[in-house]
Homo-oligomer: A and B are copies of this chain.
């Protein structure tokens, strides 16, 4: 059993005030008894990928680095496991979109470099981030083996499955996704619903709980409106908690990892995978 908290927040331009805001929310979650706290994607700044601008590389930091250190210190002080998301500078000209798990003793339990990188209008991530080279590997922590992924990975059943096949006990998606103001309300709603369904389906296919943490608010004039709706799903894809579309808030849930074992007895999908017929999955297209 682990008590998790998702921090759904808006982001400010200034890094310091941003980190201060996250700190306050994390402390609040810890005071409610959270043992695992998750922040949204790239929570130390506004979402800079809305345009391609070389100045934004200034926001990046090495890992470990000053920002990972202040969060490590906080995790240690509060004795919580903390999932943070940073713009990683690996060397000059080499950057990643990286999430970290900081354990209760402040150590870095592991990191994940975003593997699937999007690029579409207002999400110009291929300009900033080299696709991750650490693969899909769950991270061992003091609260369990965690399948940490990031945002765009949400759309790929492959990444969720690979985590499950390596014994992940939970899937975690820090996220920054929003609606396009010019779209019709119908289209906006379709997109948000698809985002939720896609992740609930990873829970179902793998009988794993899913934590998805999004930001809220509009950061640029006419820019995307981050749609919140952070949620916690159980291992049958059932929604356990869901946040609002537009409010800063913490959602919490006690997660029972033993449910996975129970659900896989009635839905033994891992038993029946036809792996000898799956080789096409590692092709780009079968033409």
A279 within 8 A of B: yes
Q: Kindly provide the distance from the CB of A210 to the nearest chain B CB, expressed in whole angstroms.
A: 12
Known: A165-B286, A197-B197. A157 touches B205 (CB 8 A): yes
Q: Kindly provide the distance from the CB of A238 to the nearest chain B CB, expressed in whole angstroms.
A: 5
Range class of the A interface residue count: 35 or more
> Are the CB atoms of A277 and B236 closer together than 8 Å?
no
> Are the CB atoms of A282 and B272 closer together than 8 Å?
no
Closest to A158 in B: B278
Interface residues of A in 123-168 (CB under 8 A from B): 131, 135-136, 152, 155-159, 161-162, 165-167
> Are the CB atoms of A204 and B155 closer together than 8 Å?
yes
Bitwise interface map of A from 158 to 199 toward B, beta carbon under 8 Å scored 1, else 0: 110110011100000000000000000000001101100110
One of B204, B273, B281, B287 near A198 (C-beta < 8 A):
B204
The stretch that binds B, out of A39-47, A219-227, A261-269, is A261-269
CA distance A281 to B165 in the complex (A): 8
> Are the CB atoms of A158 and B273 closer together than 8 Å?
yes
CA distance A136 to B158 in the complex (A): 17
CA distance A33 to B221 in the complex (A): 48
CA distance A275 to B116 in the complex (A): 10
A91 within 8 A of B: no
> Are the CB atoms of B201 and A197 closer together than 8 Å?
yes
> Are the CB atoms of A193 and B156 closer together than 8 Å?
no
CA distance A238 to B186 in the complex (A): 11
> Are the CB atoms of A282 and B287 closer together than 8 Å?
no
CA distance A274 to B131 in the complex (A): 9
Could you say which residues of chain B place their CB within 8 Å of the CB of A201?
157, 197-198, 200-202, 204
Q: Kindly provide the distance from the CB of A111 to the nearest chain B CB, expressed in whole angstroms.
A: 16
Could you say which residues of chain B place their CB within 8 Å of the CB of A280?
136, 162, 165-166
Sample of 9 A–B contacts (CB below 8 Å): A116-B272, A157-B157, A158-B278, A162-B277, A162-B280, A162-B281, A165-B285, A198-B204, A278-B281
